[in-house]
């Protein structure tokens, strides 16, 4: 079988949707299928390369907001015609992917919807205003995707509720969760979590709640200066977050690590952190949260999107409401009082991922759907 993924995600992947597509593609390659990926490139011509057996096309990308996706579609269309005879199924990953015009089968996966993300994002920066401008344009794109799709699935039950409101929504929408490679992201139970490290891995973008985390960090450090907060990731808010940390006068205790591409380095952080914190205002099923849980790291997350569907408060993680930095600070400080409780949270988290979110489970569900579409 030959599958072509269509996406806006970067490759090598730097965020959740990209990791999802990459892991799915690797699963399919490992099971004897051929995979191509069409994604954004730079200002030049379409470029092609192969990595780990996956064929990757990077088409020209012009950042003309809010019509950049339409412009990407202009460059994608001739490429689709060129490779059409090689493809059994086009698999579009939304949001922000171009609409395809083809007689081939189309699977559509919603990782989130732009209008919902925008509605939950505080309008407190230039970039969040750009998101607001993008919302009505993306809504029309998402409706077009639904009209053209042969099969629709989403990564969380919350997204099903949203898609049901769209015109032309199909009756049958399957939920196929995000997954994680449980072999690559595994615990080291012999390694003590005795360092006061609080870890976050996230895009530095509106709606991710990093400003709240920095606020919480300042409250924690004021009471216990031995805490260190590590924030891995990159994005449009990097410079403003740098300024916010500098203004807090706690720059020695709060570090922006940038994007970490080396898996071994990221694994070490997950294994050593006292807590992993996800302070987002909106999410689908965040890959980084699953990675932390797979490594046995106790997690504190906002109860948004599909997260409450697999994080049970007090059992395999801790849930809080978004935009609650004081409450987040209290939880971080109190974590020191009960190491046995934290250890149990980590073990239950690992068990949850093994039972529900390994790529052997998630990948097989996609493969079954592809086969059913063709048959």
Q: What is the pLDDT of residues 214-258, one digit of tens each?
A: 999 999 999 999 999 999 999 999 999 999 999 999 999 999 999
Share of the chain above pLDDT 90, in %: 84
pLDDT band at residue 211, thresholds of 50, 70 and 90? very high
Q: Is the pLDDT of residue 77 over 90?
A: yes
Q: Which of 113, 124, 193, 121 is nearest to 156 (CA)?
A: 113
Q: Which domains does the chain have, with CATH numbers?
A: 2-179+358-374 (3.40.50.2000), 197-356 (3.40.50.2000)
pLDDT band at residue 193, thresholds of 50, 70 and 90? confident
Query: Phi-psi category of 289—alpha, beta or left, where left has phi over 0 and alpha has psi -120 to 50?
Result: alpha
Residue 263 to residue 59: CA distance in whole angstroms? 27
Better pLDDT: 133 or 154: 154
Provide the pairing of β-strand 47-51 with 54-59: antiparallel
The pLDDT value given to residue 50: 95
The pLDDT value given to residue 132: 84
The pLDDT value given to residue 310: 96
Q: What is the mean pLDDT of residues 146-156?
A: 95
Q: What is the mean pLDDT of residues 294-322?
A: 97
Which stretches of the chain are assigned E, i.e. beta strand? 2-6, 34-40, 47-51, 54-59, 89-94, 105-110, 151-154, 174-175, 197-201, 228-232, 254-258, 275-278, 299-302, 318-320
Query: Phi-psi category of 323—alpha, beta or left, where left has phi over 0 and alpha has psi -120 to 50?
Result: left
Q: What is the mean pLDDT of residues 319-327?
A: 97
Q: What is the mean pLDDT of residues 160-171?
A: 91
Residue 142 to residue 24: CA distance in whole angstroms? 22
The pLDDT value given to residue 128: 82
Residue 136 to residue 331: CA distance in whole angstroms? 38
> Do 48 and 4 meet the contact criterion of CB atoms below 8 Å apart?
no
């Amino acid at each position: 079988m030959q599958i072509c993924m269509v996406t806006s995600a970067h490759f090598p992947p730097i965020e959740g949707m990209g990791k999802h597509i990459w892991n799915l593609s690797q699963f399919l390659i490992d099971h004897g299928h051929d995979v191509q990926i069409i994604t954004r490139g730079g200002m030049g011509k379409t470029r092609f390369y192969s990595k780990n057996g996956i064929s990757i096309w990077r088409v020209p990308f012009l950042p003309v907001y809010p019509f950049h996706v339409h412009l990407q579609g202009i460059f994608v269309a001739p490429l689709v015609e060129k490779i059409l005879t090689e493809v059994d199924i086009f698999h579009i990953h939304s949001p922000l992917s171009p609409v395809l015009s083809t007689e081939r089968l189309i699977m559509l996966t919603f990782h989130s919807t732009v209008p919902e993300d925008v509605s939950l994002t505080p309008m407190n920066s230039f970039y969040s205003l750009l998101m607001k401008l993008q919302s009505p344009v993306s809504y029309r794109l998402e409706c077009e995707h639904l009209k053209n799709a042969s099969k629709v699935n989403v990564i969380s039950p919350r997204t099903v509720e949203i898609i049901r409101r769209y015109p032309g929504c199909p009756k049958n929408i399957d939920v196929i969760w995000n997954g994680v490679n449980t072999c690559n992201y595994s615990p080291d139970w012999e390694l003590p979590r005795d360092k006061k490290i609080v870890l976050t891995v996230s895009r530095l973008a509106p709606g991710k709640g990093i400003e709240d985390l920095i606020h919480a960090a300042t409250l924690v450090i004021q009471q216990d200066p031995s805490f260190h907060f590590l924030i891995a990731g990159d994005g449009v808010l990097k410079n403003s977050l740098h300024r916010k940390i500098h203004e807090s006068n706690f720059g020695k205790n709060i570090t922006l690590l940038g994007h970490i591409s080396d898996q071994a380095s990221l694994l070490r952080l997950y294994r050593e952190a006292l807590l992993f914190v996800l302070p987002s205002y909106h999410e689908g099923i965040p890959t980084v949260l699953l990675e932390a849980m797979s490594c046995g790291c106790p997690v504190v997350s906002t109860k948004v999107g599909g997260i409450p569907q697999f994080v049970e408060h007090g059992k395999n993680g801790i849930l809080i409401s978004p935009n609650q930095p004081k409450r987040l600070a209290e939880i971080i400080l109190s974590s020191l009082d009960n190491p046995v409780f934290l250890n149990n949270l980590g073990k239950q988290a690992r068990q949850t991922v093994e039972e529900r979110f390994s790529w052997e489970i998630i990948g097989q569900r996609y493969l079954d759907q592809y086969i059913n579409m063709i048959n």
